[in-house]
Chain A
Amino acid sequence: MTDPQLAMVGLAAATVASGLMVLAPDWRLVAIGLWLGYGALALVVGTSLVFSAGLVKLVGGSLAVGVLWLASRPIRPSGPRPGGLVGRLGFRVIAFLLVWLSAWSLGRMEWLSLAGLSAVARAVGAMLLTMGLCQVGLFQHPFRVGIGLLATVAGFEAVYAPLEPSLAVAAMMVAVQLGLALAAGYLASRWAWEPPGQPVTERRR
């Protein structure tokens, strides 16, 4: 496969992943979307460095998704609340399309091609990073925020791993992603009985 073809495959995978994360109402589809995002990351790293490095990213990502899945399964975090603006599918579709366009143009920016970064790395990196940030901005639930942050870090890694291929950095990034998944999972498990956003006294009234 040539570099432009790989870029198209990577972009398609990242788009499907992002679409699931932002648009899907079911938490399992959202988690699967993140896992697909890690698949796109593995494709980038596997083609930019060595196959095994991509595999490590996929295994690390799968562990992070697994941690979030296990933490969220007992509480089954629902989709966005139907009452709010974010709950409207139309709003989320518009947000998705706008962010997709931004990601696409960001991936073509000159300064990201500094060190001969491949087109697929730029495309996947920009897509996951911006969609992750979109997810963090749209939702308040720790599960959704955790998914968004993990997608953001995955997007960052798509760009950073080919630039800084050391084993220590790869290990540290996997550890950070597991830590993020644990922290988000911990907060998500508490959400079930104590939703945030307002002080306890106000809720009591």
Chain B
Amino acid sequence: MSAPALVLGLSLLLAVLLIWLQDRQAAASAVAGIGAGLIGALVLLGPIDIALSIGGFGLKLDTSLQVLGRSLVLDGTNRAAVGFIYLSAAFIFGGGWAARPNRHLFSAGMAGIASLSASLMVRPFLFAAVFLEAAALAFVLILSDPKRPALLGGQRLFTFFTLSMMATLMAGWMLDVTGVTGSAPPLVGPISGLLGLGFAVLLLVPPFHLWLPPAADQSDSYSLGFVVVMLYAAGYFFVLRFFNAFEWLRAEAEVQQTIRSAGIAMIAAGTLWAAFERRFGRMAVYLLLADLGASLLVLGSGQTEGYRLGLGLVGVRTIGVALFGLGASVLRRADPEDNSLDLFGSAFTNPLPVGACLVGLLGIVGAPLTAGFPGRWGSLQLMASVDSAASLAILGGMGLGSLVVLRWLWWTLSAPERAPVSIALSRAERSFLLVGIGLVVVLGFFPQLVYPWVVQSLTGLSNLTG
């Protein structure tokens, strides 16, 4: 039996089962969370490529699966990355019950992460672009909430990812067939342009973030958080694999400088947009954009430590985004059709969901004593020796981002124009919110609980680890 076939087969089987369970959210959340967790554990710890004897029967999970002349491979080079995708999804699925998200989250989400994991397993890895596109198509269902249809967000998402797929495939073909290196100037221009377009979409570099603001207005926050975190993580792995495979790309100073410039622009634009934004959901996605910019900055450092930090940031982002999404989803219950999410005075009526939102956001901006801080601090130290403008951008992003969140805290404590609606929470929902807040704070003090195993995802990329 082949390990990729087992992983993908189980995921798709679960996706079908979850369609049947989509109106029973507690059951769907439990099945999706436990299922994704078990698949993640199988990927990370399973006896792949080891001969076993069970009750006299010989069993061996092969590392590869051949499909129409291409192969899907699950081995030491990508096990940690695939495991990360499943465990991150399990974390978000598990909390999904308390968020009461879009009913397609679990089934389409499971199909989407199967596609994302296939993107990490496919060889030659250039074809990952097709699987990323397939995942984006599945995620359109998640963004289109039956209660609040987000047509523009989903529409722009698949438009951008289609462009990215075509650009990446064409650039990959040119790289493969013509054997382009940094010393082939006539072809470097078109290839760099195509790769730049493909990567910019995957890493949400403006203007390819434009699917986020309408989705923030109209989609369920928890579901949107899932889509962003998963697509970005897989896109980041894909870019790292590109860097690992093409020496000229990672060694070219101009490429690194361009990536860093894009990162600085994302941090500056994200924090400034957030500062002037009065809609809570949009403000949050702009702060998230600034956080994604920090990941881009360390990617542009061209150093192994930078790649490690980038993966660490991808890992802890899941926790902050999930906590924010959980709090925002609960708050939206007061008026599901209200996009502005008026929070004036709501700290007194709904302290736990408001606290979850704000602590989640503080984690996203990398404020001290939160899960995002150690990664940001490490990035700051690293970039200080590489590019002073980049380190200033990180520092400025943390500072201004924290101030934006504190301003919203002030508003939640201010006297409201109309009395906020108090949202009834069950004991279990309260526990979920409290555990989430606790997790963000605890990981601020003990980052070693998450960073080392996320960073392991880099071990398969031997050219990046030196």
Q: Which residues of A pack against B, CB within 8 Å?
A: 111, 114-115, 136, 140, 142, 145, 149, 152-153, 156, 159-160, 163-164, 166-169, 171-173, 175-176, 179-180, 182-184, 186-187, 190-191, 194-197, 199-201, 204
- Once the chains are docked, how many angstroms separate the CA of A197 from the CA of B169? 32
Judging by beta carbons under 8 Å apart, are A111 and B337 in contact?
no
> Among the listed stretches B126-134, B195-203, B288-296, B313-321, which one makes contact with chain A, having 4 or more residues with CB under 8 Å of it?
B126-134
Cross-interface CB contact of B67 among A168, A190, A201, cutoff 8 Å: A168
Assess A166 versus B69: contact at CB under 8 Å? Given A191-B151, A196-B152.
Answer: yes
- Chain B interface SS verdict (over half): helix
Assess A187 versus B170: contact at CB under 8 Å? Given A166-B68, A180-B162.
Answer: no
- Chain A interface SS verdict (over half): helix
Judging by beta carbons under 8 Å apart, are A183 and B68 in contact?
no
- Once the chains are docked, how many angstroms separate the CA of A101 from the CA of B159? 24
With A180-B137, A187-B155 known, 10 other A-B pairs at CB within 8 A are: A168-B67, A175-B134, A179-B137, A183-B141, A184-B155, A190-B151, A194-B151, A196-B151, A199-B339, A200-B338
Cβ-based interface call for B174 (8 A): yes
Interface string of B322-341 (1 = CB under 8 A from A): 00000000000000011110
Cβ-based interface call for B278 (8 A): no
CB-CB < 8 A to B163: which residues of A?
152
Interface string of B130-163 (1 = CB under 8 A from A): 1001100100110010001111101100110011
Within 8 A of A (CB), among B42-80: 67-70
B413 to chain A, nearest CB (A): 24
Judging by beta carbons under 8 Å apart, are B166 and A152 in contact?
yes
A83 to chain B, nearest CB (A): 19
A158 to chain B, nearest CB (A): 12
- Once the chains are docked, how many angstroms separate the CA of A145 from the CA of B163? 13
Cβ-based interface call for B1 (8 A): no
CB-CB < 8 A to B140: which residues of A?
183, 186-187
CB-CB < 8 A to B178: which residues of A?
114
Smallest CB-CB separation from A112: which chain B residue?
A: B190
CB-CB < 8 A to A173: which residues of B?
130
CB-CB < 8 A to A204: which residues of B?
337
Smallest CB-CB separation from B190: which chain A residue?
A: A111
Judging by beta carbons under 8 Å apart, are A186 and B144 in contact?
yes
- Once the chains are docked, how many angstroms separate the CA of A161 from the CA of B174? 14
Cross-interface CB contact of B68 among A140, A168, A190, A196, cutoff 8 Å: A168
